[in-house]
């Protein structure tokens, strides 16, 4: 680890000010990605701006929208009665992330800002047509994810909350890496205000993506049977020590059918 200054501002405005004052300043949320990166000396921030006291944790719900504060932990999302009732697949997704320690430190905002190609939340955000709110604007899910570890965020921009339209039906299935629990392939299916949408994580070289062929079939019938004949080409998918591109292509169909079979 290199030396750095540390600040823990008491508001979003002060956090944005601290980040804007120095191009080498970086935000810290749960630290589950950021701290290992610092330890490995892969990042050299001048100032670490801890968001823990910026007032960004909490979950609120109306009949049509579930809003999750950026620093809300995976454990809080998994345990929330509101999330379990309104978007059960999102609560289940949170309960499967990493291990107990990761779930009690890691946050939704940190995961989305990081946009790891194997992270789970990007699939839920994209499939549900969520809106990412920052200190200065609202960004539609379709515009937010811009490739592996790349998002629409400016360097000094802070995610404050994520608003999910409550779907009619949805679910997530993941074929997990047995060591880390990251998605080798994860599929979130949703039928709701944003339409019928299917988002795939873990498989794409550019990160999370929507599956147009499945969406077209599911718009006619939101069932596992409707996608029985759909295969996914392996071209452009990740192949690594964990799984080949062909295996991931196969898993997309299997995970999608499992998600559809349990969607509620």
Of residues 68 and 263, the one with the C-beta less far from ligand FAD = 68
Token pair for 187? 């599929």
**For 39, left (φ over 0), alpha (ψ -120 to 50), or beta?**
alpha
**Considering the rule CB under 6 A, would residue 109 count as an interface residue with ligand FAD?**
yes
Q: How far apart are alpha carbons 198 and 123 in whole angstroms?
A: 8
Token pair for 65? 């929208």
Q: How far apart are alpha carbons 220 and 228 in whole angstroms?
A: 13
**Considering the rule CB under 6 A, would residue 102 count as an interface residue with ligand FAD?**
yes
Closest C-alpha among 212, 169, 166 to residue 191: 169
- The stretch near ligand FAD (CB under 6 A) out of 77-85, 152-160, 204-212, 229-237 is 152-160
Of residues 186 and 224, the one with the C-beta less far from ligand FAD = 186
Closest distance between ligand FAD and the C-beta of residue 37, in Å?
8
**Considering the rule CB under 6 A, would residue 95 count as an interface residue with ligand FAD?**
no
Closest distance between ligand FAD and the C-beta of residue 154, in Å?
10
**Considering the rule CB under 6 A, would residue 188 count as an interface residue with ligand FAD?**
no
Closest distance between ligand FAD and the C-beta of residue 173, in Å?
13
Closest distance between ligand FAD and the C-beta of residue 32, in Å?
3
Judged by CB under 6 A, which of 9, 69, 106, 202 binds ligand FAD?
Answer: 106
Complete DSSP assignment for 166-208: PPSEEEEEEEE-TTT--EEEEEEEEEETTEEEEEEESSBTTS-
Q: How far apart are alpha carbons 48 and 27 in whole angstroms?
A: 6
**Considering the rule CB under 6 A, would residue 204 count as an interface residue with ligand FAD?**
no
**3-state DSSP assignment of residue 61:** strand
Of residues 34-93, those binding ligand FAD (CB under 6 A): 34, 51, 70, 74
**Considering the rule CB under 6 A, would residue 123 count as an interface residue with ligand FAD?**
no
Of residues 32 and 80, the one with the C-beta less far from ligand FAD = 32
**Considering the rule CB under 6 A, would residue 28 count as an interface residue with ligand FAD?**
yes
Complete DSSP assignment for 70-113: TT-BHHHHHH-HHHHHH-HHHHHHHHTSS-HHHHHH-BHHHHHH
**Considering the rule CB under 6 A, would residue 32 count as an interface residue with ligand FAD?**
yes
Q: Classify strands 65-69 and 159-165 as parallel, antiparallel or unpaired.
A: antiparallel
Closest distance between ligand FAD and the C-beta of residue 148, in Å?
14
- Kind plus residue range of the DSSP H or E element containing 133: strand 131-134
Count of residues that interact with ligand FAD, criterion CB under 6 A = 32
Residues 6 or more apart whose CB falls under 8 angstroms from that of 14 comprise 54
Binding site for ligand FAD (CB under 6 A): 26-34, 51, 70, 74, 97-98, 102, 105-107, 109-111, 113-114, 119-121, 153, 158-159, 180-182
């Amino acid at each position: 680890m290199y030396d750095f200054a540390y600040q823990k501002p008491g508001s979003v405005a002060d956090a944005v000010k601290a980040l804007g004052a120095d191009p080498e300043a970086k935000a810290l949320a749960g630290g589950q990605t950021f701290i290992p990166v610092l330890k490995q000396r892969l990042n050299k921030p001048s100032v670490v701006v801890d968001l823990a006291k910026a007032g960004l944790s909490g979950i609120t719900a109306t009949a049509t929208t579930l809003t999750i504060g950026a620093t809300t932990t995976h454990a809080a999302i998994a345990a929330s009665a509101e999330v379990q009732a309104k978007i059960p697949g999102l609560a289940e997704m949170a309960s499967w992330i990493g291990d107990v320690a990761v779930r009690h430190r890691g946050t939704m905002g940190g995961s989305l800002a990081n946009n790891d190609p194997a992270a789970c939340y990007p699939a839920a955000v994209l499939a549900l047509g969520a809106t990412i709110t920052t200190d200065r604007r609202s960004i539609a899910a379709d515009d937010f994810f811009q490739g592996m570890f790349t998002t629409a965020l400016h360097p000094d921009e802070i995610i404050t909350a994520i608003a999910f339209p409550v779907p009619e039906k949805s679910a997530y299935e993941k074929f997990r890496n047995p060591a880390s629990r990251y998605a080798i392939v994860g599929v979130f299916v949703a039928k709701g205000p944003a339409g019928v949408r299917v988002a795939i994580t873990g498989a794409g070289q550019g990160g999370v993506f929507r599956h147009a062929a499945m969406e077209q079939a599911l718009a006619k019938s939101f069932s596992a049977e409707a996608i029985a004949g759909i295969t996914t080409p392996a071209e452009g998918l990740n192949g690594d020590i964990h799984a080949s591109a062909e295996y991931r292509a196969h898993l997309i169909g299997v995970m999608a059918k499992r998600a559809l079979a349990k969607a509620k």
